[in-house]
Amino acid sequence: MVSTDEALKALESIQDAGSGRSLLDLGWINQLRLQQGRAVFQLALPAFAQGQRERIVKEARELLEQLDGIDSVQIELGAAPQTQAIGAAGHGQLQPPQAIPGVARVIAVSSGKGGVGKSTVAVNLACSLAQQGLKVGLLDADIYGPNAPTMLGVEGQTPAVEGEGSSQRLTPIASCGLLMVSMGLLINPDQPVVWRGPMLNGIIRQFLYQVNWGNLDLLVVDLPPGTGDAQLSLAQAVPMAGVVVVTTPQKVALQDARRGLAMFRQMNIAILGIVENMSWFIPPDQPERRYPIFGSGGGNSLAEEAQVPLLAQIPLELPVQQGGDQGRPISLAQPESAAALAFANLARQVWQQCASN
């Protein structure tokens, strides 16, 4: 018959997917005891790790049931009261949107389609707002392509966790004049993308409320592309000052953007306006030339049709992409470039609208 110490040792290999640390070291597995062929322990996951519960339970069962004398495993839930309240709403029971203490306004950046430059817009918008003197946070909730850590040069950094057990809170990472938290800093990059959707729905609220954002004028949320559960979860969780919809001038992108606009309208979320990205190509050696390689006029006609402002047309410029890849957004790296000036103008309009609401 195995001893309690041996059973604990068996559980040592279960790790938090984000930090790679053992759950025993993190104090998430507690009070293991053996009772007549049954192993019982308490699993107390912090809010941001709730999405890992299923995998952890499975691993723990498999590890313990292999041991001599253990026929069954009973797992007691050690969830935080706050986590339970928030989690309950995450599973379909609506509760009224709840402001984030210290965060004055939340806006989202959304796109109907992937690859149109939504994250580039979210990151540069956030940087420009910060450059204009505002306290800004960026929540990268794009679980399918969490690019903000790369774009802000903080790839590989893990947000510190403060507090114990149920009151654990993430400390956002400071970079480029703003505070940021990204799914990309917490998920295992090797994890199959199909597992991430269900994870996101359960934890988006925790990302909003269980991060030490401090006092922010504005929290910018980079949503996953499309019209899925993430948008719904966010809209139901927090009162939103509005959403910026990013598109390219291409017909296919515009069609998807139209669907996104309709969804936000249905959810009664204010549409701050449309950003047309990659409006024209500016060759590096001919900064005065404009080549509308994805067509032209699309953003404008969509804005007219939806009766919302066309907030910006961002040129396709090599330095935008280079800034993203090198962790120094163009708004900071080349503030006088055409794209950076367009982002700065976008930031002014967004703030004007938010501040007047």
Ligand X SMILES: Nc1ncnc2c1ncn2[C@@H]1O[C@H](COP(=O)(O)OP(=O)(O)OP(=O)(O)O)[C@@H](O)[C@H]1O
Binding-site residues for ATP sit at: 112-119
Q: Does 227 bind ligand X (CB under 6 A)?
A: no
Q: Does 120 bind ligand X (CB under 6 A)?
A: yes
Q: Are 247 and 112 in contact (CB under 8 A)?
A: yes
Q: Compute the distance between CA of residue 80 and CA of residue 74 in angstroms, rounded to an integer.
A: 19
Residues 241-260 that bind ligand X (CB under 6 A): none
**CA dihedral sign, ordered 295, 297, 303, 307:** negative
State the Cα angle at 211 between 193 and 25, rounded to 5°.
Answer: 75
Residue 13 Cβ vs ligand X, minimum distance, rounded to whole Å: 33
Q: Which amino acid, one-letter code, is at 286?
A: Q
Q: Does 169 bind ligand X (CB under 6 A)?
A: no
Residue nearer to ligand X on the CB measure, 210 or 334: 334
Residue 144 Cβ vs ligand X, minimum distance, rounded to whole Å: 7
Site string for ligand X, 286-325 (x = CB under 6 A): ----------------------------x-xx--xx--x-
Residue 148 Cβ vs ligand X, minimum distance, rounded to whole Å: 9
Q: Are 224 and 144 in contact (CB under 8 A)?
A: yes
Q: Compute the distance between CA of residue 73 and CA of residue 167 in angstroms, rounded to an integer.
A: 27
Q: Does 197 bind ligand X (CB under 6 A)?
A: no
Residue nearer to ligand X on the CB measure, 172 or 249: 249
Q: Compute the distance between CA of residue 29 and CA of residue 97 in angstroms, rounded to an integer.
A: 32
Residue nearer to ligand X on the CB measure, 47 or 311: 311
Cα dist. 49→155, 168, 225 in Å? 20, 11, 23
339 three-state secondary structure: helix
Residue nearer to ligand X on the CB measure, 282 or 350: 282
Q: Compute the distance between CA of residue 16 and CA of residue 21 in angstroms, rounded to an integer.
A: 6
Among 15, 131, 147, 182, binds ligand X (CB under 6 A): 147
Residues that contact ligand X, how many (by CB under 6 A)? 21
Other beta carbons within 10 angstroms of residue 322's beta carbon come to 13
Residue nearer to ligand X on the CB measure, 177 or 324: 324
Q: Does 145 bind ligand X (CB under 6 A)?
A: yes
274 three-state secondary structure: strand
The residue ranges that bind ligand X (CB under 6 A) are 111, 114-120, 142, 145, 147, 225, 277-278, 314, 316-317, 320-321, 324, 339
